């Protein structure tokens, strides 16, 4: 199942400049998702990180993986931000950065569910540029209803 940006916008509360997923290539409900982030020189963060050598901040690579996990959780539970459901980043373990991500790169974000129990999801994420691993981590999200 492919999701374009218009469908992604229905399943994530994020908007520019913080929406970090451009396309979903694959989704296996409740199990895994593969998404893309096209990294362009127009990203607001490149203005200051770093002016003479633009590098995508590692925390934003992690955020992109978390957003991919959010899309997976929303689609798998048949919920969306519009119905008052929000998934919050709740924790991260074993984050490792192995490659610099620069303008012109395309990040392939792969997330897999390690376990989900009620409103808590634990996922494993990897971000690749081509076949090269750029970042990996385990992270948790918690579902909350907006009040």
Q: Which residues are catalytic?
A: 49
If you compute the radius of gyration of the chain from its CA atoms, what whole number of angstroms results? 15
Q: Are 110 and 125 in contact (CB under 8 A)?
A: yes
Helix then strand then coil, in percent of the chain rounded to 5, is 25, 45, 35
Q: Residue 45: how many CB atoms within 10 A of its CB?
A: 13
CA dist 120 to 14, 57, 70, 128, Å? 20, 26, 11, 26
118: left (phi over 0), alpha (psi -120 to 50) or beta: left
């Amino acid at each position: 199942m492919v999701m374009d940006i218009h469908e992604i916008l229905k399943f994530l509360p994020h908007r520019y400049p913080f929406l970090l997923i451009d396309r979903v290539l694959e989704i296996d409900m409740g199990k895994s998702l593969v998404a893309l982030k096209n990294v362009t020189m127009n990203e607001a963060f490149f203005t200051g990180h770093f002016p003479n050598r633009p590098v995508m901040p590692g925390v934003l690579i992690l955020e992109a993986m978390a957003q991919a996990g959010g899309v997976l959780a929303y689609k798998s539970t048949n919920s969306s931000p519009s119905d008052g459901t929000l998934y919050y980043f709740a924790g991260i373990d074993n984050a490792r950065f192995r490659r610099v991500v620069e303008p012109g790169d395309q990040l392939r974000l792969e997330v897999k569910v390690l376990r989900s129990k009620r409103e808590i999801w634990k996922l494993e994420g990897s971000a690749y540029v081509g076949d090269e691993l750029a970042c990996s981590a385990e992270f948790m999200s918690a579902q909350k209803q907006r009040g």
